[in-house]
A and B are shown apart, each in its own frame.
Chain A
Amino acid sequence: MNTGIVVFPGTWSDRDCAHAVGEVLGQPGRYVDHREENLDDLDLVILPGGFSYGDYLRCGAIARFAPVMEAVTDFANRGGLVLGICNGFQILQEARLLPGALLRNASCEFRCEWVNLRVEQSESAFTLDCRPGQVLRIPISHGEGNFFADLQTLDAIERNGQVVFRYCAPDGRVTAESNPNGSLSNIAGIANARGNVFGMMPHPERACEDLLGGSDGLAVFRSAIHALARVAV
């Protein structure tokens, strides 16, 4: 899986994603500069977490104008796999590659902690390795992760099976207490209708080694590897 990790000014999960994909999973890849315009060599494009352009304006609102985003949009339209993590998710929404918006956390505070995610959709390219209803333990680290969409959009993504992860209790129940940021319907990760573009607020790259507290995040990257293998066959 040749992986491209996009680096905007202010991105900081680039090295963590490279560690997870490159060192833990042994996949080839490269960093992609925000000024690049050609992603043809890649199988998977990751938009990692961070504070692109400082997020001084709405998160992701400036990054979406970076030259690389045109290439990312072409890549996605051609069916390429795109994973947006945290700030990357925000950028994908600003670029209209994913529906909805991410508002300020309901607590009005930044939150960094481990959360539980229930797998709602195990047919997605990023959850192929998971069972429906499986609970993954993965940390969040954000101030603006409160998923919002108008009722029509929400209805559509629920109906189309685009909701991939929901915040839940350790036993898988979707409860108000297990929602760390006020997201509508506890939504933590969604895919586009075609299923090749996926955004999630939690950081799977931080949950790839038991030494660091857990390895449930590997499922996301391994699923992508298997999805690509399936296409290739």
Chain B
Amino acid sequence: MAIATRRAQLEEVALNEDEYRAIVRAIGRDPNDLELGMFGALWSEHCSYKTSKALLRQLPTEGPDVLQGPGENAGAVDIGDGLAVVFKIESHNHPSAIEPYQGAATGVGGILRDVFAMGARPIAILDALRFGPLDSGHNRHLFHGVVAGIGGYGNCFGCPTVGGEVHFDSGYADNPIVNAMCVGLVAHDRLRRASADRAGDVVLLVGADTGRDGIHGATFASVEMDERSAERRPAVQVGNPFLEKLLCEACLRLNELAGVTAIQDLGAAGLTSAASELAYRGRRGLDIEVDRISRREQGMTPYEVMLSESQERMLVVVRPDAETAARQVFDHFELHADRIGTVTGTGRIRIRDHGVSVADIPLKALVDGVPLRSPVASFPDKQPTVVMPAVEEPEAILLDLIASPNLRSRRPIYRTYDHQVQDNTVFGPGFDAALLRVPGTNKGLALTTDGNPWYVTLDPYEGTKAAVAEAARNIVCTGARPIAVTNCLNFGNPERPAIFGQLQESIRGLADACRALELPVVSGEHPADAGDRHGRPARRPLPPMPVRIPGRRRPGLFAG
């Protein structure tokens, strides 16, 4: 391959020369375009955490109540009565910056799928949002689009949006932070892990047809925002909450069937990521007949099909003798399902198009083989000092504070969200933490998202500790005991030393605070997409690190 061509190709998939050489070593030859695209997606920072993985090992992830820690679609914690709470938070910052309504809507859609893929019924959504000042028309466009997108998806799907937070700061101008958290409930014996561990099982692709939307969304989420980002608009997907509702009900019903091995949602990196992770977790392989996948348009290449991020799709793995029963469930909900492949014992993902092999990759290399990057961290010589202004006119300052968008009522936002559907909301938005009844028990579940971006900017370590402490306090205020944490670390590009330094300090703070409060971190996300290409730290202070803590109310507190 000519060097210039290869460079362009590597830029397309955002991999470097070292990574290319690692791919060649792993498969024993040069990859073809499809294979390179698949590596590009799974070896993106978004999917692989190649720069932050080592840091994340510091986090406490175990505890007596933890049923599922990080590494699955979502984390799960025991809450007694044979029930588990399943939850996770994810960012959708980049898509929301380009197309705010659909970016935010599909962020909600993605996190809902993560939860019902675990067999849990989604019972709550929370959103942590950051925008630039609303005196700019573009920031207002982003703000209104994101809020409408969250409401548009959650309201139609029928999961209440019960809490969240929003901050405005010039650092987020044109560069919003959109984090969506979903919480679900499931009986222990129905908690499902997405692992295809039986060779011979049938792989079904259920839900939406596959289109050209969102190709390389995972790669896109890992490169820095720049003036060309708007050109990537086709990389933003469009959501269909109605289809998602049907998919959710179908998956929850499938979860009751014998012979269903695994359910996995298609998120970042689409079918490539979902299929590879499913088979790798089960220590098996997978053969996919790419021509069997229903498409939205003609002429799509295997590359486009394998990397599409079309929304509202799930992979369902069943024993051959359970396929008929599974199809009856899909028929009931009028969902389309394609039989696209089989689980094998090869340890490889093999893709055929009309019988011709188009990709053949060992799964270990694809899912777990990315060379970890060890970026350089730098730390500011001295932390910025806060100059407290002299208070000469306290009345004027008080009026300024009352008028500040950061202290105003959030009612204009949350009254556009259905926060009551499912009949469990005891305290909805507007309280320190939301409180939901756990149906069928005398327990409640307290939920919050917190994070102060300015504290984290001033001191990532202390600021992150403060975020965990604030969330814990808000949980305690409802009478609940904090039990676990999910987190979303919204930082800029970790390849930049100053940002990697912030990330390092922030994770250390998160780990220390969670240890001190004996809280396991059971899920989370670490998007590397909150910075811009030109590195203007003064204009782009460190985005926040929202932390979310579901807490459990002690039994017996509900008299009702």
- Chain A residues at the B interface, C-beta cutoff of 8 Å: 9-10, 12-13, 15-16, 19-20, 49-51, 53-56, 109-113, 139, 141, 143, 203, 205-206, 208-213
Question: Given A54-B242, A206-B423, A209-B560 in contact, is the A113-B415 Cβ separation under 8 Å?
Answer: yes
Contact residues, B135-187 vs A (CB, 8 A): 151, 155-158
A91 CA to B560 CA, complexed, in Å: 34
Q: Is the CB of B421 within 8 A of A141?
A: yes
Q: Identify the 9 closest CB pairs spanning chains A and B, nearest first.
A: A12-B158, A54-B242, A211-B560, A51-B156, A16-B423, A141-B418, A110-B416, A112-B418, A10-B242
B419 on interface, CB distance cutoff 8 Å: yes
Taking CB atoms, residues of chain A closer than 8 Å to B243 are 54
Contact residues, B240-268 vs A (CB, 8 A): 240-243, 245-246
Taking CB atoms, residues of chain B closer than 8 Å to A13 are 158, 421
- Chain B residues at the A interface, C-beta cutoff of 8 Å: 151, 155-158, 240-243, 245-246, 333-334, 414-426, 437, 439, 558, 560
A13 CA to B421 CA, complexed, in Å: 7
Partner of B426, one of A9, A51, A112, A211: A211
Q: Is the CB of B242 within 8 A of A53?
A: yes
Q: Is the CB of A110 within 8 A of B421?
A: no
Closest residue on chain A to residue B429 by CB atoms: A112
Q: Is the CB of B416 within 8 A of A109?
A: yes
Question: Given A10-B245, A12-B245 in contact, is the A111-B415 Cβ separation under 8 Å?
Answer: yes
16 CB contacts below 8 A, A to B, read A9-B242, A10-B245, A12-B157, A16-B421, A16-B422, A19-B423, A55-B156, A109-B416, A110-B418, A111-B416, A141-B418, A141-B421, A143-B155, A209-B560, A211-B560, A212-B437
Taking CB atoms, residues of chain B closer than 8 Å to A203 are 420
Question: Given A12-B245, A54-B242, A206-B420 in contact, is the A211-B437 Cβ separation under 8 Å?
Answer: yes
Taking CB atoms, residues of chain A closer than 8 Å to B334 are 9
Taking CB atoms, residues of chain A closer than 8 Å to B437 are 211-212
Partner of A15, one of B418, B420, B422: B422
Taking CB atoms, residues of chain A closer than 8 Å to B439 are 19
Q: Is the CB of A112 within 8 A of B420?
A: yes
Partner of B333, one of A9, A20, A209, A212: A9
Distance in angstroms from A46 CB to nearest chain B CB is 14
Taking CB atoms, residues of chain A closer than 8 Å to B423 are 15-16, 19-20, 205-206, 208-209, 212
A55 CA to B152 CA, complexed, in Å: 11
Closest residue on chain B to residue A208 by CB atoms: B423
Q: Is the CB of A51 within 8 A of B242?
A: yes
